[in-house]
């Protein structure tokens, strides 16, 4: 029973803050305009500053695992190919295929993954996850574009280089992570005043992210083909993290790094998938349903994944 209670201590605080966000919206203390503006604040300022601070002050020798990073990239690529192939074999329409595929592998690493890892492994795990996320976000964005463009290549003969550039070069999370890496490599100390300011941002960022996730959650956004949304959610919450566990463990990775890999892989579908589906003529209604279903059932899937990790002895007791 001990692994199960350890799991509850990790999962419940995260989803309790999400529930707080839902409650605040229902009582009128926050509204959709607040959620929209806060999301922009988090995406363009708070989360990039958080990544910069954690990575710039990290000990690379103990926090960065190249084999883990390459393994996660390989698993992510395999997941994208499997999801796309499944959509093709099931005969999904071109606009559905890319959205379905993206929903099956594009996780909400920043808003949900980082809080779960922090709750499970503390600051040491959070720093490792931040470094790993900085490497994964460009790959996730690239695959998300590819699975949308391939099935509609005849409709869009011109490749969307501008979109690729915006997703890979101007993404605030990537810029924050890269700036942190460059600062770390210079060996410069973090000035006290700057460090204190960034620490305050760090403390506020993740709870605020969870509140906005909860505030934006609404079952009324379930629309379109729920069978497709349910299948994509099943892949994202169960099949993909278990595939990740299999591949990463075969690379000889154990302990905290293995746990971080599985938890990041098991995050619900990212809200950014809706925006990309809209921009690339996918199916935004399907994207919305995948986001809602995967977020709704992620409390159950995280409980299962964390219990499994506890039984494997890769969670702190």
Question: pLDDT class for 189, splitting at 50, 70, 90?
Answer: confident
> What pLDDT score was predicted for residue 101?
96
Ranges 23-27, 122-126, 153-157, 260-264: which has the least confidence: 153-157
Query: Which pLDDT does position 167 carry in this prediction?
Result: 66
SS3 142: helix
pLDDT 10s digits, 241-281: 999 999 999 999 999 999 999 999 999 999 889 888 887 88
Q: In 10 A of CB 314, how many CB atoms?
A: 20
105 is a domain residue: yes
Rounded-to-integer distance, Cα 149 and Cα 144, Å:
9
pLDDT at 317 over 80: no
Residue 178 to residue 137: CA distance in whole angstroms: 11
Which of 108, 102, 104, 107 has its CA nearest to residue 42? Answer: 108
- Per cent of the chain over pLDDT 90 is 59
- The three-point CA angle 60-310-10 to 5° equals 75
Query: Position of tokens 């069978």?
Result: 227
- Specify if 177 maps to a domain: yes
Residue 163 or residue 270, greater confidence: 270
The rounded distance, in Å, linking the Cα atoms of 53 and 87 is 40
Decide if 29 is inside a domain: yes
Whether 316 maps to a domain, the answer reads no
Confidence of residue 159 (pLDDT cuts 50, 70, 90): low
Q: Taking each helix axis from N to C terminus, what angle separates 255-265 and 240-250, rounded to the nearest 10 degrees?
A: 150
- Residue 79: inside a domain: yes
Residues 22-47, mean pLDDT to the nearest whole number: 92
Q: Quick one: average pLDDT of 279-288?
A: 87
Domain count of the fold of the chain: 1
pLDDT at 316: 78
Token output for 134 = 């900085």
CATH number at residue 130: 1.20.1530.20
Say if 257 falls within a structural domain.
yes
User: Looking at the DSSP assignment, which residues form a beta bridge with residue 269?
Assistant: 107
Torsion of the alpha carbons at 197, 198, 200 and 205, rounded to the nearest 10: 150
pLDDT for 153 = 67
pLDDT tens digit sequence for 73-108: 999 999 999 999 999 999 999 889 999 999 999 999
Nearest CA-CA partner of 53 in 226, 196, 253: 196
142, exposed or middle or buried, with CB in 10 Å at 0-12, 13-18, 19+? middle
Pick left, alpha or beta for residue 138 (phi over 0 → left; psi -120 to 50 → alpha; otherwise beta): alpha
| Structure tokens belonging to residue 283 | 């199916």
Residue 41 clears pLDDT 70, i.e. is over it: yes
* Those residues with Cβ within 8 angstroms of residue 277's Cβ, 6 or more apart along the chain or in another chain: 98, 99, 102, 148, 283, 284, 286, 287
Question: Residue 7: what pLDDT?
Answer: 83
Name the least confident of 56-60, 209-213, 263-267, 277-281.
277-281
Residue 272 is part of which domain span? Answer: 2-311
Res 158: pLDDT: 56
Q: Report phi then psi at 36, rounded to 5.
A: -65, -45
Confidence of residue 155 (pLDDT cuts 50, 70, 90): low
- Whether 68 is covered by a domain: the verdict is yes
For the segment 49-56, the average pLDDT, to the nearest whole number, is 90
The answer to the question of residue 317 being in a domain is no
As beta bridge partners, residue 107 has: 269
Average pLDDT along the chain: 89
């Amino acid at each position: 029973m001990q692994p199960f209670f350890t799991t509850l201590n990790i999962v419940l605080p995260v989803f309790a803050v999400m529930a707080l966000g839902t409650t605040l919206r229902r009582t009128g203390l926050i509204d959709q305009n607040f959620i929209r503006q806060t999301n922009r604040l988090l995406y363009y300022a708070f989360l990039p500053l958080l990544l910069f601070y954690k990575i710039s002050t990290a000990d690379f020798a103990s926090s960065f695992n190249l084999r883990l990073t390459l393994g996660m990239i390989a698993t992510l690529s395999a997941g994208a190919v499997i999801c796309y192939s499944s959509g093709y074999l099931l005969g999904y329409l071109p606009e559905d295929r890319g959205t379905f595929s993206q929903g099956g592998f594009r996780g909400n690493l920043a808003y949900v993954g980082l809080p779960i890892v922090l709750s499970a492994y503390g600051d040491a795990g959070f720093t490792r996850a931040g470094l790993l996320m900085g490497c994964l976000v460009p790959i996730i964005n690239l695959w998300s574009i590819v699975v949308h463009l391939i099935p509609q290549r005849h409709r869009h003969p011109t490749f969307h280089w501008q979109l690729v550039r915006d997703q890979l070069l101007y993404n605030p999370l990537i810029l924050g992570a890269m700036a942190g890496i460059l600062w770390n490599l210079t060996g410069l100390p973090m000035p006290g005043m700057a460090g204190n300011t960034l620490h305050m941002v760090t403390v506020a960022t993740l709870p605020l992210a969870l509140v906005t996730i909860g505030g934006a959650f609404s079952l009324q956004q379930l629309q379109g083909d729920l069978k497709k949304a349910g299948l994509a959610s099943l892949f994202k919450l169960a099949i993909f993290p278990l595939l990740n566990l299999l591949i990463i463990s075969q690379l000889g990775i154990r302990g905290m790094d293995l746990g971080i890999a599985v938890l990041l892989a098991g995050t619900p579908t990212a809200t950014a998938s809706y925006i990309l589906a809209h921009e690339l003529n996918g199916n935004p209604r399907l994207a919305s349903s995948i986001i809602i279903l995967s977020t709704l059932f992620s409390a159950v899937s995280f409980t299962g994944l964390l219990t499994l990790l506890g039984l494997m002895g890769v969670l702190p007791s």
